[in-house]
Structure 1
Amino acid sequence: MSSTVDFEIRERSRELPGRIARFPFPFPRDTYRYSTNVEPAGSVVDTAAGRWGAHPVDIDGYYVEDLAERERVLGEDPTRFQALPHMEIAQWDAMITLMRMLVDADPRTFSLDRKGGIRRFTNRALDVEQAFVFGERSTLPEPPLRFIGRHIQEDVVLLDQRDGALWGDAGLVTFAADWSLRFDVGMSFLQIHGPVPRVHTEGVIPRAQKFLMGLQAGQRYRRTNWSLTVDRRLDQSTETYPQWGRDRRLLAEGPLEDVGRRLNLRVEVQHLVRLGASGALMFLIRTYLLPFEDIARVPEWSDRLYRVLDELPEDMADYKGVTRTREPGLRWLLTYGGVQP
């Protein structure tokens, strides 16, 4: 049976564009509630369209485009990079770890060599080669976390562990989904998640923190999160709300036939990695966007997305920012997406 399923997945993934075949569709059932939904990282996940999840960092067809967008965002707002002074060693630790992850994911494009105390990182896709000495800031053109951010599509937050809690004390976040690193830096894990509905009364966040604090050096876990985004806009930070907030209203008031092209299911694959040298926790956030018209090419996805959105409680829809967009999304799926209610 499993070999038949594998064959069907391979055949379907050949027929679909890579953006669909590699998309991390996040719904295992017809309803959605907040949970820790954490699993060990590194194993491949089969979907109705293909597969994803082989590596904690993912290099895809949007690589150059996404990195150019990151540079544009940082050029307009350098505060998207934050690092408290005591997180210096954690920055170096994260940089080396991410370089090794890039090499593991694509050794033809990336390399990391060492001769004595000098390391040399190469990114052939961007034609970059950088020699450096671990821990010596003068050997890099910028802070370590800022440097490695030029080479990965993921956002990064570094959590320090002290006083029986986790603290978000450094990060490079240009593709936030309605939150602000500048506002959150220095806050505890519990404070950062304060606005999320239901999770405190149900104990989700305290359980998550306890789990994360128990991770040992080198352990890697992952989870997914989701929302809806109008157009292919990665940067939905609180700082830029005036630029993207009105799009929700305009989409809802516009022609229904435009919804399939403009409304995207936004999925974050979040990796949690305990670093070795610093003991910090590295939180990687990779954002994927897939328009409803592409989701409709996978009937299992469009049917399940409809049922999740239709059943989602109002308080969760409001927190996720989908209150305005889910109704046109549901109507489009019924009218154009082949869904039977």
Structure 2
Amino acid sequence: MSITIDNDTATLPDRIRRFPFPYTGDNYRYSANVEPSRKLTETEAGGWGTTVVDVDEFYVDDLKLRAEVLQRDPSRINALPHMRPAVWDAITTLLPEMAEDNPDKMSWQREGDRVRWRNTLLNLDIEFTVGDDASLPTGDPLDFLGSQIQDDIVFLEQRDKQLWLDAGVVTFAADWSIGFDVGMNFTEIHSPVPRVNEEKIISRAQHFLMSLQPGESYRRTNWTMTIDRRLDTSTETYPQWAGDRSTISTDPALPERVHLRVEVQQLIRLPRSGSILFLIRTYLLPLTDIAQVPAWRRRMGEVLAELPDDMAEYKGIIRYRKAASDWLLSG
């Protein structure tokens, strides 16, 4: 498939060229939209997706924000005791791959169970023993993993013909709570989403995940909109940002403040523990940046104009989606 480039991509900043623009048509409905990981997806602005763990210009700032969120609210990291081997499995799976993808910034050297991990972006050079929590700087493998990758991290365990959310560190949730969801099954977690149960999307998604083989990795995208570049829109912080939804439609700064929020969700069957690792990487781009790519501007405007009210209500955008759509289409 050929891609028509609307702009000279060399003149666009990285945040636009690498943005995972989610729309493939002028309307949107929920779907599994699953595809293999590590596959380049070309867009009108550039492309994205060649790595599982993306390291971009916001890496240091995002991890600093995660540390601040966890300090204020330790409930954002939660793990049932039996998940410890799965967390170590994730560490020994993801960090070597990050080092391979970013050899000028990171390195992973392992001899037996001894590891030396260097991450120049964080001025980190440490040694630890795989499986020994006390050898890590944080003393907690899940906390340590969350300090190295920008993604939110969720672990799903398979039992009783269901998937269960048994561990996670989630500081950048889009209006949900890891503290509330830990211990729930896959169907319970997704039951509030409109249309997905009637269309059997959740049951199909769960069947797909449970059929993943060790080492297999797939991805999908999801989207909503956020006012300002606010990564932490968890249920716990609702009072801090919910009010903006009712006032932004008349704000002259709407194009700068309203952001398209895209999650790239990686679905990985860990090779040793067999647990399913669910990574959620969040990207934010203001409408002013969307508008720098004419094809994106028109398409997003059409999607927002056509989106059914129940989906707009669930995404929390119903009060301002018309204003956003009108601005995009006016260009």
Shorter-chain TM-score tier: over 0.9
Deviation at 1:11, TM superposition (A): 7.2
Counterpart among 28, 46, 57 of residue 61 in structure 1: 57
Aligned-residue RMSD, C-alpha: 1.4
Partner residue in 1 for 2:295: 300
The answer to whether 1:334 aligns with 2:320 is no
User: Deviations along 1:251-302, whole A, 9 cap, x unmatched?
Assistant: 12323xx111000000000000000111000000000000001111101001
Which moved further from structure 2: 52-61 or 97-106? Answer: 97-106
Alpha-carbon displacement from aligned partner over 1:152-194 (angstroms, at most 9, x marks no partner): 1110000011111110000010000000000000100111101
Partner of 1:202: 199
Distance 1:294 1:176, change over 3 A: same
- CA pair 85-22 structure 1, distance change in 2 beyond 3 A: same
Q: How many residues align?
A: 330
Q: Which residue of 2 aligns with 1:122?
A: 118
TM-score between the two structures when normalised by the length of structure 2: 0.97
Provide closer, same or farther for how the CA distance between residues 109 and 326 of structure 1 changes in structure 2, counting only shifts above 3 A. same
Alignment of 1:132-147 (within 5 A): 132-140=128-136, 141-147=138-144
For 2:28, give the aligned amino acid.
Y
1:242 is aligned to 239
Greater CA drift, 258-267 or 133-142: 133-142
Q: Is the 8 A contact 2:186 2:206 kept in 1?
A: yes
Which position in structure 2 is the counterpart of 1:77?
Answer: 73
Would you say 1:88 and 2:84 are equivalent positions? yes
How far apart are 1:136 and its partner, in Å?
A: 1.6
Distance 2:100 2:112 in 1: 22
Does residue 36 of the first structure (1) align with residue 29 of the second (2)? no
SS in structure 2 at match of 1:201: coil
Distance 1:143 1:85 in 2: 12
Distance 2:132 2:139 in 1: 11
Secondary structure in 2 aligned to 1:233?
coil
1:266–1:290 contact (8 Å) kept in structure 2: yes
Pick the aligned partner of 2:167 from 158, 167, 170.
170
Q: Deviations for 1:35-70, whole angstroms, at most 9, x for unmatched residues?
A: 111001111000000010010111111111111111
Identity of aligned pairs, percent? 54
Question: Which stretches in structure 2 are left out of the alignment for 5+ residues?
Answer: none
Deviates more, 1:104-113 or 1:297-306: 104-113
Q: Does 1:262 align with 2:257?
A: yes
Give the corresponding residue for 1:322.
Answer: 317
CA distance in 1, matches of 2:321, 2:93: 39
The TM-score, its normalising length taken from structure 1, stands at 0.94
Deviates more, 1:319-328 or 1:289-298: 319-328
